[in-house]
């Protein structure tokens, strides 16, 4: 399986600001020396030496992750603003089919859907999965009249088929096995595991790991236990989490504790706080790596979910 991050930001799409670009330029100017400019090679070496927070950006689109199975079937996880970029960047699948899973229907996870080009292609069919019985109603509320969006839901949704999942069961969706479990989040959210050829990938966003329902331990373990790669909510620093108890998100160090308890091999920190700039988010990654070394002796690998990157599972 292969994943591609199209949107990694939480709560609301957050485009990079001019002041943040200026801070990056300032940081480059302060670091460069005359020797760095001497030749093509020295310039390339200097660029390669820049930290990720200066040379790139984590990205501002809200959640959307593409999962391509080993046989090329396309699965989409959430339809935040990242799905618009996905629709502009790739051609539709050879079988003209997507399976789209929603963690929940908060606005940051659905706001890109009306802008997904492939949904307007009459050949493309989309199967939509979630444990929410009112899934279609929630999505339709984004496009109820042309005063609110220029395309009506009834015209947009002609090729969609809705499926309501139950936690604790496993499903065969295309060529992968899928399980889901309820997590702690205002209005509830669901995490999903996808298994194929002995590998397990889990998508778990908008979860407050300190507030998990202990009565649901069996289903949570069914989804998370022994996963190879987990995309996991880690929106907050410790200070922020204390001020935002019951807001439904996690601190990066709890994400690592949870990963260790579930024997997860690799975590991608996800659903980044919209108020944090690239420098702050990369400092969270450094702290998370340090914490993982300290607490798990590196048995849990930690990476940052960054818009545009891909990972093999």
The residues of the shown chain that bind Zn ion, judged by CB under 5 A, are 10, 106, 108, 206
Smaller CB distance to Zn ion: residue 54 or 203? Answer: 203
Comparing every residue's Cβ against Zn ion, the nearest one is 106
**CB 271, min distance to Zn ion, A:** 6
Smaller CB distance to Zn ion: residue 5 or 124? Answer: 5
Smaller CB distance to Zn ion: residue 176 or 223? Answer: 223
**CB 189, min distance to Zn ion, A:** 6
**CB 51, min distance to Zn ion, A:** 27
Smaller CB distance to Zn ion: residue 74 or 206? Answer: 206
**CB 242, min distance to Zn ion, A:** 19
Smaller CB distance to Zn ion: residue 48 or 275? Answer: 275
3-state SS of the chain is CEEEEEECECCCCCCCCHHHHHHHHHHHHHHCCHHHHCCHHHHHHHHHHCCHHHHCCCCCCCCEEEEECCCCCEEEECCCCHHHHHHHHCCCCCCCEEEEECCCCCHHHCCCHHHCHHHHCCCCEEEEEECCCCHHHHHHCCCCCCCCCCCCHHHHCCCEEEEECCCCCEEEECCEEEEEEEECCCCCEEEEEEEECCEEEEEECCCCHHHCCHHHHHHHHHHHCCCCEEEEECCECHHHHHHCCCCCCCEHHHHHHHHHHCCCCEEEEECECCCCCHHHHHHHHHHHHHHHHHHHCCCCEEEECCCCCEEEC
**CB 13, min distance to Zn ion, A:** 11
């Amino acid at each position: 399986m292969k994943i591609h991050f199209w949107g990694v930001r939480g709560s609301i799409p957050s485009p990079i600001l001019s002041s943040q670009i200026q801070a990056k330029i300032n940081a480059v100017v302060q670091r460069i020396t005359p020797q760095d400019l001497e030749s093509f090679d020295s310039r390339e070496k200097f660029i390669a030496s820049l930290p990720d927070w200066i040379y790139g950006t984590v990205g501002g689109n809200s959640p959307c992750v593409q999962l391509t199975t080993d046989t090329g079937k396309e699965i989409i996880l959430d339809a935040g603003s990242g799905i618009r970029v996905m629709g502009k960047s790739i051609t539709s699948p050879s079988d003209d089919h997507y399976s789209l899973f929603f963690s929940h229907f908060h606005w940051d996870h659905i706001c890109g859907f009306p802008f997904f080009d492939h949904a307007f292609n009459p050949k493309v069919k989309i199967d939509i999965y979630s444990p929410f019985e009112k899934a279609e109603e929630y999505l339709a509320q984004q496009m109820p009249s042309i005063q609110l969006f220029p395309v009506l839901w009834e015209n947009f949704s002609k090729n969609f088929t809705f499926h309501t999942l139950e936690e604790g069961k496993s499903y065969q969706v295309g060529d992968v096995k899928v399980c889901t479990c309820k997590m702690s989040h205002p209005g509830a959210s669901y995490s999903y595991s996808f298994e194929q050829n002995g590998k397990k990938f889990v998508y778990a966003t908008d979860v407050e790991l300190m507030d998990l329902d202990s009565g649901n331990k069996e289903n949570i373990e069914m989804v998370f236990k022994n996963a190879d790669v987990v995309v996991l909510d880690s929106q907050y620093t410790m200070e922020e989490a204390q001020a935002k108890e019951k807001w439904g998100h996690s601190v990066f160090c709890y994400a690592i504790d949870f990963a260790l308890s579930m024997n997860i091999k690799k975590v991608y920190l996800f659903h980044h706080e919209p108020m944090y700039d690239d420098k702050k988010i990369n400092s969270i990654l450094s702290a998370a790596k340090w914490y993982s070394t300290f607490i798990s002796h590196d048995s849990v690998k930690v990476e940052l979910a960054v818009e545009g990157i891909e990972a093999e599972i």
